């Protein structure tokens, strides 16, 4: 009986350690750079992740960003469903160039407004409201993207 308990305990430790390690390996945090500023970016690649985005989160720090990676270039829309604070939204083309921006998108805009770029884009970056104004991000700027995006 003691041997079985010891084996089961060891196996449990291995499984939990593996799960923790796997979580670190598959972490979707990376660094994004835009006009000389670095942001710790959460990268969203699945449809479910992109649909949820920042919905329901209490806040976004000034040094953080959410990076939506889409499978192809299109006029991807962003909504403010279940948002608790305003954000700035930046669309990038497949060459990582800023093609469209929305400053201070308000939670109250949902459900009437879906923010969309004028030109096709591959990526969307969500930043704390005021970032575009404060840093001087403008159309044509090139973002330093995380490896693999």
Residue 23 structure tokens: 């979580």
CA distances (Å), origin 74, targets 47, 69, 83, 97: 14, 12, 24, 14
Least confident of 20-34, 99-113, 119-133, 135-149: 20-34
4 located within any domain: no
| Residue 143 located in a structural domain | no
Phi and psi angles of residue 3, each rounded to the nearest 5 degrees, phi first: -65, -40
**Predicted pLDDT of residue 21:** 32
CA distances from 135 to 41, 67, 120, 130 (A): 17, 18, 24, 8
Token digits for 102?
A: 């929305």
At 4-56, the pLDDT tens digits run 444 434 333 433 333 333 333 334 689 999 999 999 999 999 999 999 999 99
* 145 burial via Cβ count (<10 Å: 0-12, 13-18, 19+): buried
CA separation for the pair 126, 59 (Å, rounded)? 12
Within-domain flag for 16: no
Q: State mean pLDDT over 118-130.
A: 98
Q: What is the pLDDT of residue 8?
A: 38
Give the model's pLDDT for residue 106.
98
**1 falls within a domain:** no
Residue spans of beta strands (DSSP E) within 75-119: 87-92, 98-105
* CATH code of 81's domain: 2.60.120.1140
Q: What is the mean pLDDT of the chain?
A: 86
The Cα–Cα gap between 85 and 128 comes to 9
Q: Per-residue pLDDT for 117 more than 70?
A: yes
* Residue 78 resides in a domain: yes
83 found inside a domain: yes
| Full residue range of the structural domain in which residue 92 is found | 28-135
pLDDT given at position 2: 52
pTM of the model: 0.81
Within-domain flag for 115: yes
User: In this structure, is residue 98 part of a structural domain?
Assistant: yes
**In the predicted structure, residue 78 carries a pLDDT above the cut 50:** yes
């Amino acid at each position: 009986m003691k041997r079985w308990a010891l084996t089961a305990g060891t196996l449990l430790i291995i499984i939990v350690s593996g799960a923790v390690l796997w979580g670190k390996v598959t972490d979707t945090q990376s660094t994004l750079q835009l006009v000389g500023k670095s942001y710790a970016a959460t990268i969203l690649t699945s449809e479910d992740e992109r649909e949820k985005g920042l919905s329901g989160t209490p806040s976004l720090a000034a040094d953080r960003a959410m990076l939506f990676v889409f499978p192809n270039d299109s006029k991807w829309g962003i909504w403010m469903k279940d948002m608790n604070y305003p954000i700035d939204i930046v669309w990038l083309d497949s060459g990582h160039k800023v093609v469209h921006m929305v400053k201070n998108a308000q939670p109250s805009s949902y459900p009437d407004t879906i923010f969309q770029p004028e030109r096709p884009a591959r990526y969307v970056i969500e930043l704390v409201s005021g970032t575009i104004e404060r840093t001087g991000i403008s159309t044509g700027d090139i973002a330093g993207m995380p490896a693999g995006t």
